Amino acid sequence: MKQLLQNMKTGQAVVAEVPVPTPGDGMALIRTANSLVSAGTERMLVSFAKQGLLGKARSRPDLIREVLNKARREGLLTTIEAALNKLDQPFALGYSSAGTIIKTGSGLAGFKAGDRVACAGGGYAVHAEYAIIPQNLMVPIPEPVSFEEAAFATIGAIAMQGFRLAEVGVGARVGIIGLGLLGLLTTGIARAAGCQVLGVELDPARAELALQVGANKAVNREQAIEAARSFSQGDGLDAILICADTSDNDPLILAGEIARDRAKVVVVGSVGMEVPRKPYYEKELELVVSRSYGPGRYDPSYEEKAHDYPIGYVRWTETRNIAAFLTLLAEDKLDISSLISHRVAIEEGARAYEIITGDQPYLGVLLTYEEQDLPHERRILNTAAPSVRIRPDEILALGVLGAGNYALSTFLPVVKRIGGIAPVGIVSASGVSAHYAARRFGFGFAASEAETLLDDPVINMIAILTRHHLHSQQIQAAIQAGKHVYCEKPLAVNTEELKQIEQMLQGENRPLLTVGFNRRFAPLAQHLKAFVDTRHEPLYMHYRLNANVLPKGHWLLDPEVGGGRIIGEACHFIDFLTFLVGESPVEVLTQGLPDGGVYSEDNVIMTFRFPDQSLGLVSYLANGDKSFPKEYLEVFFGGQVATLHDWRLLATVAKGRRKMKRHLLRQDKGHSNAWRAFLAAVQGQGELPIPYEQLLGVTRASFAALESLRSGKRVEI
């Protein structure tokens, strides 16, 4: 299918042929009829992308601080590679579209194939021939409403939410500053609600258009104060909605001047926010910043899991705002035909960005899509990849499930650098990241369905780099298909999944399985292991993690998707202690700080006891400063000490002598050596990279650590 993508490094917009995405649970596959280009958000992103590196740095000083902190922690080369890799990845623009449901995922309620729907959401309602949309981000289109009109529904919901926050009713005098597409839609909504509307706009043509869509009066900036005085009979306006798009502070100043006493000012657009104290204080004005298209926005539980808010408590969610906007269209209370300035076929989609960043006038820029049957071919071939005929088991042939940030920035660069395999195919649910990865790393094809890899007889190795809740089922499916598996941690997120994997591994002549516990393969880890293997007594180990807090709603914190931070991430460090001792822990006691509504069981101290009576502490902390180094390890035994500083410095002390090993320009956390060890094992040239008893034992230990935290008791593993 065709999709419009933006390269954030070069600023180039391209229409690419990418795999049709696959709908997950609670989602639908939509064939797009029209999508609307956002004159605000998308123009801002496109303008940012077109800047050089220096311009990007100047416009985002906050990111520069993060980059500098990362360079101090992890090394200059590591940081440069990470930054350039992030900029090079394609960005899928678009968040307002309309189309027809072609296919539904399991668990989707209230929709069926053939339904016409308006779609919303960044990363979902993208500019593409097909899109996957979650249940709460689509709304049925009433019969009188066309696809073109319905494609405005998300922008309309933004206008609707801003208007609701103004809390005005019939007869109220409302000012709207900025009469672009958002301001004009707000004007129509306010007039449909029975308000008297005064518009303020720099462009005379847009001011004239505002009169057509419902404004009682529309003036330029110079006339605004006097016009507002006359319009309100000297009282001032009841509410002012700022829909302008400018870094200037003038809209906020003007709003304060034309508002009545105790009026409300609602910021809907993106403007300067230095509030002039005098008018806002003297009139006791209420200033509100509208958050997108209503309650539910940015809440993964609402948007991705379809957990609706009870209507008795939250009358107007983002979904209900979209539905209300469509109702206005269906009842002819809002006419947006005059707001469509351009129609651009998806094949020429890059021209849409030339329009919104150029000098010619524009308002609603619609992308159009020809109706066509769903493609039968599930794979997009990479014609730039070397043409090589591969027979089953002839050479190592790799398929990759997942093309997220870890895959693109860490795993796939390692695979490409080491070589020795045939990169056959790569899959991601959206299709876009798989398409990019295939081109960048030389895979023969990209797809969006795991079966394209599992059913391919040529592929004999699968790398699983998906979200954690998919690991167990994908491991089992790959092994059943006779393919060796390299799975990024964790092995499983619950005991039932782990039991299923354990049973599968007990069969004879099974393909090999390993987990990406890469730290045990790092060069400094190997030096440390050699140092502690001279011991004749138990170890004391303390691994401290400055993990940093994750935002609420992050998928890793979801026990059903990410497993939480102990299972999903701290398993790395449990494994490293296991590596040093040589055996899995047999007992754990976990204690934690109160979450206090900020944290998510991620300020904990886990104390592990091992069979030889070694003790290992993992202090996993999310309450630190992210500029501080992330990882620090101390090991004490037999009159000797070792310290490992964030994978850049290993110090060992024995008999009064200190030895140092350093990595000056980059960290090496063992990713390359872990992959080499897996390839060697698959080829029969080495042992299992990690013994199965340790893979299973470390996973059990992470489950037991969480159980101990919640029960407050010591747990045997």
Q: pLDDT, tens digit, for every residue of 104-151?
A: 999 999 999 999 999 999 999 999 999 999 999 999 999 999 999 999
| DSSP strand pairing (587-592 vs 604-609) | antiparallel
Domain with CATH 3.30.360.10 in the chain: 517-714
Distance CA(393)–CA(486), nearest Å, equals 17
Please indicate whether residue 43 or residue 583 has the higher confidence score (pLDDT): 583
Point out which residues pair with 119 in neighbouring strands: 97, 138
Residue 53, pLDDT above cutoff 60: no
Distance CA 523, CA 668 (A): 7
Q: Tell me: pLDDT of 156 over 70.
A: yes
Inform me whether the pLDDT recorded for 642 exceeds 70: yes
Residue 54 has pLDDT above 70, yes or no: no
pLDDT bucket at 33, cuts 50 / 70 / 90: very high
CA nearest to 408, candidates 89, 679, 667: 89
What is the CATH number that goes with domain 170-287? 3.40.50.720
Q: Sorting pLDDT into bands at 50, 70 and 90, what band is 49?
A: low
| Confidence class for position 383, pLDDT limits 50, 70, 90 | confident
Mean pLDDT of all residues in 522-532: 97
**CA distances, 215 to each of 179, 188, 198 (Å):** 10, 7, 6
CB 531, CB 652: distance < 8 Å:
yes
Looking at residue 352, what is its pLDDT?
Answer: 93
Q: How far is CA 261 from the centre of its chain?
A: 43
Q: Which CATH class is domain 517-714?
A: alpha beta
DSSP state of 685: S
Question: CATH number of the domain at 1-151+302-366, out of 3.30.1490.20, 3.30.420.480, 3.10.129.10, 3.90.180.10?
Answer: 3.90.180.10
**pLDDT of res. 37:** 94
Please, what's the b/e burial string for 220-229 (b: 16 or more CB within 10 A of its CB; e: otherwise)? eeeebeebbe
**Cβ distance 364 to 387 under 8 Å?**
no
Asked if 5 and 432 count as a contact pair (C-beta separation under 8 A), the reply is yes
SS3 476: helix
Nearest Cα neighbor of 155 from 268, 75, 255, 17 is 268
Residue ranges matching CATH 3.90.180.10 in the chain: 1-151+302-366
The share of the chain scoring above pLDDT 90, in percent, equals 84
Q: Which among 137, 127, 215, 129 is positioned nearest to 178, based on CA atoms?
A: 215
Assessment of whether the complete model's pTM goes beyond 0.85:
yes
Separation CA 576–CA 632 (nearest Å): 12
Instruction: Find which of 7-16, 364-373, 574-583 is predicted with most confidence, using mean pLDDT.
Output: 574-583
Q: If one looks up domain 377-513 in CATH, what number appears?
A: 3.40.50.720
Instruction: For residue 50, name the pLDDT band (cuts at 50, 70, 90).
Output: low
pLDDT more than 70, % of the chain: 93
Q: Tell me how far apart the alpha carbons of residues 266 and 421 are, in angstroms, rounded to a whole number.
A: 58
Nearest to 263 by CA among 170, 199, 174, 194: 174
Tens-digit pLDDT profile for residues 305-355? 999 999 999 999 999 999 999 999 999 999 999 999 999 999 999 999 999
Examine the pLDDT at 103 and tell me if it is beyond 80.
Answer: yes
Of 254, 11, 26, residue with least CA distance to 134: 26
Which candidate, 125, 185, 144, places its Cα nearest to that of 161? 185
In sequence order, what E strands does 506-574 have? 513-515, 540-546
Q: How far apart are CA 565 and CA 557, in angstroms?
A: 6
CB-based contacts of 2, cutoff 8 Å, min separation 6 = 15, 16, 17, 18, 128, 129, 346, 347, 349
- As given in the structure block, the two tokens for residue 714 are 């010591």
Residue 433: pLDDT band (50, 70, 90) is very high
Mean pLDDT, the chain, as a whole number?
93
Cis peptide before 134 (omega within 30 of 0): no
The Cα–Cα gap between 708 and 699 comes to 14
Nearby residues of 304 by Cβ (< 8 Å), 6 or more positions away? 26, 134
pLDDT band at 385 (very low <50, low <70, confident <90, very high): confident
- The DSSP annotation for 613-633 comes to S-EEEEEEESSS-TTS-SEEE
- Supply the pLDDT for residue 68: 67
- Mean pLDDT, residues 385-407: 86
143, 220, 223: which is closest to 178 by C-alpha? Answer: 220
Q: Which of 436, 450, 428, 435 is nearest to 380 (CA)?
A: 435
Closest CA to 678 of 423, 398, 424: 398
At residue 413, what are phi and psi to the nearest 5 degrees?
-60, -35
Residue 460 · residue 421 · CB < 8 Å: no
Average pLDDT over residues 479-489: 96
Looking at residues 243-261, what average pLDDT do you find?
Answer: 96
Summarize the confidence of residues 435-443 as an average pLDDT.
95
CATH 3.40.50.720 residue window(s) in the chain: 170-287, 377-513
Rg for the chain, CA atoms, rounded: 29
Convert 628-664 to b/e letters by CB count within 10 Å (16 or more is b).
ebbbbbebbbeeebbbbebbbebebeeeeeeeeeebe
